[in-house]
């Protein structure tokens, strides 16, 4: 009787604790997210796709696309409106840290490429941005009345659609190349350098669009852009210099200590807070903070080892699920939405695969190498999801356009690996690597540390 009374009293106390009640709502959601991400990630690997593609699909399936369609009550109970701000917060922190790690992995130098190879990479990077941006903007102009929010200008909407289609999934591309030992191959070096340039331009372009869109006046937009530019310059020159001793210490010891981790956490989260405060979004701050980190290979390897597994396993799937909860098929049968999906998918494929392929051919690559480069650059992965989540949060695009671009991301990313394998069989890969080993194609150089996904 005493035990029963105590349990009853404890239950009353726990029921009266709102923090505990909230925790009991959030934890089951996180458990389901992790389970779905693990299962879909394994399934993706089993069909020879990157794990991150399965995690992207898991996020969509947990939303209205599948769970909300077959069991709406289960989706409502699992992801009630009260926990969505928490998912948004965790996803935003995850994105900021993930983009920080992407920035850490970028190599802003030439990676040992000669003048001719740098010229080829520049042409490839340009072809990865200009054609999809122009074609996507044209679709945005044509579909403005049917798909845009009423308070967004035609120019901002069109440029945002073009910018989203111009994104390349640098982490996914790096992962594909590293899994196949192609990071030092002829096409691998050029693809990595071009994709790193494309992503840097894409985040700068997004910072510009959000600043202009959110500016109550031209002066406010200019202020945001100037502050963003000053932040980037200070971080990349002053901040990078101050952080070099930390990189040298890690290179000597071979590991990152707790004191260094405190410094890193303060830098990345402080950078994210500052860029959010000036109106550019925290992922831009995380990305720039990553580029300001020491460039020692030992530092990159140690930092990725300490952070990437946690960020990629726990926080990034939360972001995918939050994206999935905003992906709704309502109205997908409308002609304007179907036309928009077909148009964006078509110009996205043509702009990246065909545009990069033809550009590569024009600077001396064989047709086989050119189409292989085009297939790699056509992968958009989670980079486009980050891009469009910012657009949705900033009210630049509607939920319909967001859903359309989610499917564009999934389809183009899923097509990238099979297309690459088809145009570049293993025998040709071995031949390409042998050219590098014998010095035919210039110096052997690794451009990045491979981030997960």
Query: Considering the domain boundaries, does residue 6 fall inside one?
Result: no
Under 8 Å between Cβ of 127 and 312? no
Q: What is the DSSP letter of 331?
A: T
Per-residue confidence in pLDDT tens, the chain, 453 aa:
555 555 555 555 555 678 888 888 899 999 999 999 999 999 998 988 888 888 889 998 998 888 888 898 999 999 998 999 999 999 889 888 988 988 887 655 544 556 677 788 888 888 889 999 999 999 999 999 999 998 899 999 999 999 999 988 776 777 677 666 676 677 777 887 788 778 778 877 888 888 788 765 666 667 877 888 899 899 999 999 999 999 999 988 888 989 999 999 999 999 999 988 887 778 888 988 998 999 888 898 899 888 988 888 888 899 889 888 888 776 677 888 889 999 999 999 999 999 999 998 988 888 888 898 888 888 887 788 888 988 988 889 998 899 899 999 889 888 888 888 888 776 565 555 555 444 444 443 333 444 444
Query: Considering the domain boundaries, does residue 9 fall inside one?
Result: no
Place of tokens 């210490």: 249
Under 8 Å between Cβ of 377 and 384? no
Whole-prediction pTM: 0.77
Structural domain containing residue 377 = 29-437
Query: Considering the domain boundaries, does residue 178 fall inside one?
Result: yes
In this structure, what CATH number is given to the domain that contains residue 195?
1.20.1530.20
Under 8 Å between Cβ of 162 and 389? no
Largest CA distance in the chain: 86
Exposed e or buried b per residue across 15-28, where buried means at least 16 C-beta atoms within 10 angstroms of its C-beta: eeeeeeeeeebeee
Query: Considering the domain boundaries, does residue 324 fall inside one?
Result: yes
Under 8 Å between Cβ of 201 and 381? no
| Residue (of 96, 141, 175) closest to 416 by Cα position | 175
Query: Considering the domain boundaries, does residue 5 fall inside one?
Result: no
Number of domains in the chain: 1
């Amino acid at each position: 009787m005493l035990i029963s009374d105590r349990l009853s009293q404890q239950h009353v106390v726990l029921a009266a604790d709102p923090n505990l009640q909230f925790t009991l709502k959030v934890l089951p959601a996180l458990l389901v997210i992790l389970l779905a991400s693990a299962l879909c990630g394994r399934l993706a690997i089993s069909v020879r796709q990157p794990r991150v593609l399965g995690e992207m699909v898991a996020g969509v399936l947990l939303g209205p696309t599948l769970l909300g369609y077959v069991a709406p009550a289960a989706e409502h109970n699992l992801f009630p409106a009260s926990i969505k701000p928490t998912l948004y917060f965790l996803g935003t922190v995850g994105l900021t840290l993930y983009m920080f790690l992407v920035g850490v992995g970028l190599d802003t130098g030439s990676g040992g490429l000669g003048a001719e190879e740098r010229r080829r990479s520049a042409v490839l990077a340009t072809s990865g941005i200009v054609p999809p941006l122009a074609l996507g903007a044209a679709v945005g102009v044509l579909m403005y009345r049917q798909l845009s929010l009423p308070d967004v200008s035609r120019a901002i909407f069109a440029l945002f659609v073009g910018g989203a289609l111009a994104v390349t999934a640098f982490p996914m591309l790096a992962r594909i190349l590293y899994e196949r030992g192609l990071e030092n191959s002829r096409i691998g070096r050029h693809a990595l350098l071009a994709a790193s340039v494309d992503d840097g331009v894409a985040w700068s372009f997004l910072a510009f669009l959000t600043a202009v869109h959110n500016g109550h006046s031209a002066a406010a937009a200019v202020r945001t852009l100037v502050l963003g530019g000053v932040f980037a310059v200070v971080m990349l020159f002053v901040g990078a210099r101050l952080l070099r001793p930390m990189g040298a210490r890690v290179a000597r010891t071979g590991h990152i200590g707790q004191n260094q981790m405190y410094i890193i956490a303060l830098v990345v989260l402080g950078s994210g807070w500052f860029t959010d405060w000036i109106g550019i979004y925290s992922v831009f701050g995380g990305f720039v903070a990553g580029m300001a980190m020491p460039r020692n290979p030992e530092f990159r390897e140690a930092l990725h080892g300490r952070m990437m597994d946690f960020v990629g396993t726990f926080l990034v799937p939360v972001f995918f699920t939050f994206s999935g909860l905003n992906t709704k098929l309502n109205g997908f049968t409308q002609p304007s939405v179907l036309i928009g999906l077909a148009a964006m998918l078509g110009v996205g494929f043509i702009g990246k695969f065909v545009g990069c392929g033809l550009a590569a051919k024009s600077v001396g690559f064989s047709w086989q190498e050119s189409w292989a480069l085009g297939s790699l650059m056509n992968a958009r992965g989670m980079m486009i999801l980050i891009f469009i989540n910012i657009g949705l949060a900033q009210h630049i695009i509607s939920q319909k356009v967001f859903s359309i671009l989610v499917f564009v991301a999934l389809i183009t990313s899923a097509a990238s690996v099979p297309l690459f394998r088809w145009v570049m069989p293993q025998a040709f890969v071995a031949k390409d690597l042998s050219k590098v080993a014998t010095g035919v194609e210039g110096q052997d150089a690794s451009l990045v540390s491979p981030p997960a996904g």
